[in-house]
Each structure stands twice: as structure tokens, then as C-alpha cells.
Amino acid sequence: MDKLTALCKAMITYDKGDPRRIHHFLKVHAFAAQIGREEGLDEKTLFLLEAAAYVHDIGIHEGERRFGRNDGQIQQELGPDEARPMLEELGFEKEDVDRICWLVAHHHSYGSIDGPDAQILAEADMLVNQYEDGAPLKQNEALYHRLYKTESGKRMFRELYFDTYEGIKK
């Protein structure tokens, strides 16, 4: 089994009993991989991005268990110590583990975005969060201008949240 497939499997097991979290990271991974491919990322950067997308919210359960909170700050603080042993166990290279853990520790810190993996992870996460949280149009417009930089991420955000579908809606 390749490393990304094994990591996805391990994350589903890690989050067992919590389908909301499992659906979340699977969707963030799918958007991140699609944006990364459309943007033409090199193989290594795409690999790091995909791995980070699977584990980016791994700090949530520890935050809820230990501190009764699951906000972005606690995810960033607790996530790396949860992700590191999982990645090491699955045979990820040390420098890859370090970068993936850095991405986990900064995925809500837009001021520290330092590369396309960090940028696309943040874009993919918010493509999913805005839907899951039912964010209002005004908030989406502000976020679009503040965060989105890649052409494909911007296009997807517009297509999800600014275009209208006139068919039957549930």
C-alpha cells in the first residue's frame, strides 16, 4: 500500500465513530489534490499537500478530550504531536514528517503561508468549512479576497459560493 493510502486508512481509524470529521478530511483532501494538480505542483509538493490534508485537523479530538475545545488554535497546538507518530509509523521520511507537521501547526495562520502546499491546504480547508458551517455570503466574499490566491482555488470558490443554481434544492 502506498503511503498516502495508508495514511488515509490510519486517519479513518483515528477518527472512528466521528463521521463528520472523516467526511471533512476526505473532502479537504479531494479539493487540495484537485487544486494542486490544476496548479501543476511538482510530485513532492503534491505529496506533502495531500498528506497534510489528511491529517490537518488531527488535533481536534485531543483538544476536545483535554481542554473541551476544538478551535483552530488548539488544532494547531495539539495536531503535530498526534500526526508525528502516525507518519513515522507509516515510514514517512523525517523531512516530510517535519513539513507535514509544520503545515498542521499553521493551517489557520494565513500570515505565515510560505509555499504552495500551505496556500492550497488553507484554500481547500475553507472551501469545505464554508459549506459545513453554512457561512453567509458577506463572510464568503471577505474570505475570498483575504485568502484565495491560486487561480483554480479562486475559480472553485466562486463556483461553489457565488454562482447560483436554479434547479430543485433540498
| Residues contributing to the site for Fe ion (CB under 5 A) | 57, 125
Residue 132 near residue 25, CB atoms below 8 Å = no
| Closest to Fe ion by CB, 99 or 107 | 107
| Cell numbers at 92, concatenated | 514517512
- State the virtual CA torsion across 42, 93, 13, 37 in degrees, nearest 10: 0
| Closest to Fe ion by CB, 15 or 57 | 57
Residue 121 near residue 101, CB atoms below 8 Å = no
- At closest approach, how far in Å is the CB of 57 from Fe ion? 4
Residue 128 sits at the vertex; the CA angle it makes with 77 and 168, to the nearest 5 degrees, is: 160
| Closest to Fe ion by CB, 89 or 133 | 133
- At closest approach, how far in Å is the CB of 69 from Fe ion? 15
- At closest approach, how far in Å is the CB of 7 from Fe ion? 16
- At closest approach, how far in Å is the CB of 24 from Fe ion? 6
Q: At what angle do helices 94-106 and 116-132 cross, to 10 degrees?
A: 40
| Closest to Fe ion by CB, 23 or 66 | 23
